[in-house]
Amino acid sequence: MTPRRRRMVVVGLILVGVSLATFLALTAFQKNLLYFYTPSQVAAGEAPTGYPFRVGGLVVEGSVQREPDSLTVRFSVTDGTSTVPIHYSGILPDLFREGQGIISVGQINTAGVFEASEVLAKHDENYMPPEVADALKQSGQMSGSYKDYRK
């Protein structure tokens, strides 16, 4: 084998290795993305089944139900147009309450209930997660001011 041919084989193997590594990295990255969906999008069936995602909105007044002697909580979240029931087992944030903007991470089960693995609440009186604020503005339910920390 000539030196030139040997060099071309090495370059080809390097290209194949880099391509394979890039493919594996992009595949792993795609599986770990958490997209945000509004309750309207979840109700319309736009949210993926079998994959975790985030859903956010305002906790519906009177929807919080706690199971006695358990950390299990059931509540609903709305964007003013649609409502999504959420089931969560764990400790809720101290700032969680009815009428407040939250984001939950989890997935939809076969009964159409969002099984949350994490619940995030706003951290001060004027802040609302940007995705929740945008969804509420689009539905005409946004009242008051909020701080947008994306800028």
Query: Does 123 carry a binding-site annotation?
Result: yes
Query: Which pLDDT does position 150 carry in this prediction?
Result: 46
Classified as helix, coil or strand, 26 is helix
User: Do 108 and 114 contact (CB within 8 A), yes or no?
Assistant: yes
Query: Which pLDDT does position 33 carry in this prediction?
Result: 75
Residue where the block lists tokens 């800028």: 151
- β-strand partners of 114: 86, 108
CA 9, 15, 18, 21 dihedral sign is negative
User: Do 81 and 39 contact (CB within 8 A), yes or no?
Assistant: yes
Query: Which pLDDT does position 145 carry in this prediction?
Result: 52
Backbone angles phi, psi at 116, to 5 degrees: -85, 140
Query: Which pLDDT does position 29 carry in this prediction?
Result: 77
State the 10-residue block means of pLDDT for the chain, 151 residues long. 89 93 84 82 86 89 91 91 92 87 90 90 63 72 52 45
Domain ranges of the chain: 1-30, 36-121
Query: Does 87 carry a binding-site annotation?
Result: no
Query: Class of 36-121 per CATH?
Result: mainly beta
